[in-house]
Amino acid sequence: MSAIVGANILLAIPFLAAFIGIPLWFTLHRPSAGPDHAEARAYLRTRTEFAAAMARRQAARARTSGALAARRAAA
């Protein structure tokens, strides 16, 4: 093996290590970024609570209107 081939191999090793190692390091260094569903959960929680509040309000109105009708009938 001539000196040029030996020098070429010695210079190729660090370049190959960098060519393979840097993207591998970026991949392993970054945490797994999964989807964040916090906003969706907050939206669904708010929507459920709003529907429950509306149901309570409607039930209270029904009781109130029933009581008013009973008072009117008694009067």
What mean pLDDT do residues 42-63 have?
Answer: 91
**Buried-state track 53-69, b at ≥16 Cβ within 10 A, e below 16:** eeeeeeeeeeeeeeeee
Closest CA relative to residue 47, chosen from 36, 39, 35, 57: 39
Identify the pLDDT of residue 61.
Answer: 85
What's this model's pTM, rounded to 2 decimal places? 0.41
* CA gap 75, 67 in Å, rounded: 12
Closest CA relative to residue 28, chosen from 20, 37, 36: 20
